[in-house]
Amino acid sequence: MVSSLTLFQATIILYSMGALLALLLRGRKYSNLLTYLLPAAASLFAIVLSANVIFAKDALHISITRDALAQFGFDVFIDGISAFFILLIGLVSLAVSLYSVGYTKEYEGRKDTSILGFLFNIFILSMLLVVVSNSVFAFLVFWEVMSLTSFFLVIYEHEQEANLKSGMTYIVMTHLGTTFILASFLVMYLQTGSFSFDAFRQYVPFIPLQVKDIVFILAFIGFGTKAGIVPLHIWLPQAHPSAPSNASALMSAVMIKTAIYGLIRVLFDFNSVGSPDYTWWGILLLSTGAITSVIGALYAVIEKDIKRALAFSSIENIGIILTGLGLSVIFASFNLTALAVLALVASMYHTLNHAVFKSLLFMGAGSILYATHTKNMEAMGGLVRKMPWTSLLFLVGALSISGLPPFNGFISEWLTMQSLLSTSQIPDSTLQITIAFASLAFALTAGLAAAAFVKIFGISFLSRGRSEHVLHAVEVPRSMLIGKGVTALAALALGVLPFIGINLITSAFNIQSAQPASPFDTITLQNASGSNFASLSPFTVVVLLASVAAASYGFVRVVGGPTRQVVYETWDCGFGGLDERMEYTATSFSQPIRKIFKAFFRPRNSIQREFYADSNQYKRKTIRMESTTRSLFEERLYTPVVSATIFLFDKIRRIQTGKVNSYLLYILITLVLLLVLVRLSP
């Protein structure tokens, strides 16, 4: 058996070679192929590495530390938790690398694709090194590399002013998050005297509870900013649509999961959340998750830009993941071990599922952009005839993210719902009522998510084309279809064979569980007393769905007898022929949601009328109506904060007179104040 060390070294070398060859072979024959096949091979090694650590228990611990720089060592530690997130990175990167072979042809002749290939490889490598780092210094270095490479990917098409604005918003928010993460680690350093994560684990029992609370709050804000929790989500719907679609797939499916990895370390590795003192941690996670999921789903429903809609959907799914994490902490604080395990498995299963179907959907959106050169759903329609394979694969992703069987999103959302329904075992009535509201938010989120993807798929692929963009659209290159096919098969496998994902998670997190070991086993959930309260057999669900479909077909063919098809024109209400102008649009589809939540969206409707010259403004030639919504968080939170900050620094700038005498006076005043402070101190 190949050792974990060998697999890790091979993975690092292949990603590094992909980055170097992208620059060295710039513009040469086969350069594009090598640039993305090397990370595909590296991703395969990463998947094998994660399986080696999770199932063979061949953990890897490497210390690259010199005595003189003991606090700034590059320590590597790959345990089950790291291996689980390496699997996410490897699986998604494999699919996206294959997809990128064809996708990057979109930029040939107008952009330097070697830069894109270099950033692509370094970005994946940095994410991998983040989840294996075992010291503060190494973690923050690779976290910063990940942030900077993703920033350059966001502004890759910097000729567009909107992309530059998105990049600036992203870099400010990501460094805001990094500041809080650093502060969290510094507090731990003050308690342990070390920047090593091993020391953090060792000294956990000796750290005061109040200090742990501070560490958690700082880490929650820092990692929450990267994950895109509300109201720190402002960067995500701007940055993800601006980046190339292969980078968007990595950012949304994997990068924001590194923040979940950080929270997992803080919650369950650097702390022991098995007492009521930590209940409020769980409540904060649960409440934030519920709010984040609902708001993300609401904005996804009303979006016309397909990539922005998918970005808001990522916010929604981060909320679902946090809901499971919060429930796990709450259950653990009341010593409800079985339910804590259930909630953790639900959260991690959804983390895995979201990585799979969101990468599939972003690659699908990139395929649409590749073929039509537009992200506006109002200009799409009829793509199912032009791009049948892309339509089918996108449909798989849409059904998965909507939580419909037999796809993977159904399993993790079912487990999350069962966790929410099990809160009656918590011995606190107030807490039960609080979680009941989270259950309502989860149900609303599920409905809104389904509506969002009915809109996205229906408006983009079905009916007639609504613009010139669709006329010349053709199916994308085969490599792009293969990349999407990898994640589509994974979505189906994790839905039909959930024992794969559940056993993977329980092994990675060292959970003793009697979960299914074969596709014919039933997922059985137990309460604290050991009695069963819910069960599900995905294989049975698949068989029932197939049986109903076969029976329906047989009934029509056998009982109904032979039929003949007669084609008539659709009744057009006397308009003299239907055309694409009379179809539902993305805006009209979401109009009921806009109306119900108008206090939240605050929509603005503008109507433009054009009259015939001789009609004296009675006979209208055209009427154009446009409906726009406003971002509550930008208007009420970020705009006032930015304005106040600019005002403050404008005032501070006035002390910069440019005169040496003034600066000497400032120094004198500072010295006097310091001397007085020293004099008064005991």
- Would you give the DSSP letter of residue 278? G
For residue 589, the one-letter residue type is: F
Confidence band for 68, pLDDT divided at 50, 70 and 90: very low
Residue 515 confidence (pLDDT) above 60? no
- Parallel, antiparallel, or unpaired for β 60-64 and 74-78? antiparallel
d(CA 570, CA 511): 59
The full DSSP string for 39-55 is: HHHHHHHHHHHHHHHHH
Confidence of residue 534 (pLDDT cuts 50, 70, 90): low
Q: What is the pLDDT of residues 449-463, one digit of tens each?
A: 999 999 999 999 988
* H or E element that contains 535: strand 532-536
Rounded CA-CA distance 608/368 in Å is 30
Can you tell me the mean pLDDT for 56-77? Answer: 74
77 phi and psi angles, rounded to 5 deg: -140, 115
Prior bond of 538 cis (ω within 30°): no
On the 0-12 / 13-18 / 19+ scale of CB atoms within 10 A, 665 is exposed
pLDDT at residue number 634: 80
pTM above 0.85, yes or no: yes
Of 256, 261, 257, 219, give the one whose Cα is nearest residue 236. 256
Per DSSP, what are the bridge partners of residue 523? 536
pLDDT band at residue 521 using 50, 70 and 90 as cut-offs: low
From 332, 30, 411, 528, select the one nearest 22 (Cα to Cα): 30
Say if CB 467 and CB 374 are below 8 A apart.
Answer: yes
* Bridge partners (DSSP) listed for residue 196: 135
Nearest to 235 by CA among 148, 122, 159, 311: 311
Tokens of 183: 């502060």
pLDDT digits (tens, 9 = 90+) for 626-657: 777 777 788 788 888 888 888 888 877 777 77
Name the residue among 230, 396, 222 with its Cα closest to residue 312: 230
pLDDT, mean of residues 538-549: 72
Q: Has residue 561 got a pLDDT over 70?
A: no
Q: What is the mean pLDDT of residues 174-196?
A: 92
Task: For residue 583, report the phi and psi dihedrals to the nearest 5 degrees.
Answer: -80, 160
Instruction: Report long-range pairs for 436-440 (Cβ below 8 Å, ≥24 apart).
Output: 437/290, 438/286, 438/287, 438/289, 438/290, 438/323
**Exposed, middle or buried by CB within 10 Å (0-12, 13-18, 19+), for 635?**
exposed
Three-state SS string over 312-378 comes to HHHHHHHHHHHHHHHHHHHHHHCCCHHHHHHHHHHHHHHHHHHHHHHHHHHHHHHHHHHHHCCCEHH
Mean pLDDT of 183-195: 91
350-402 pLDDT, tens digit each: 999 999 999 999 999 999 999 999 998 988 888 999 999 999 999 999 999 99
Helices 337-372 and 408-421 cross at an angle (nearest 10°) of 150
pLDDT at residue 522 above 80? Answer: no
Element housing 523 (H / E): strand 523-526
User: Which amino acid, residue 632?
Assistant: L
Structure-block tokens of residue 656: 């910069």
- Coil, strand or helix: which one is 658? coil
- Distance from the Cα of residue 658 to its chain's centroid: 48
What are the pLDDT digits (tens) for 562-571? 667 777 777 7
The residue-averaged pLDDT of 502-522 equals 71
What is the pLDDT at residue 81? 94
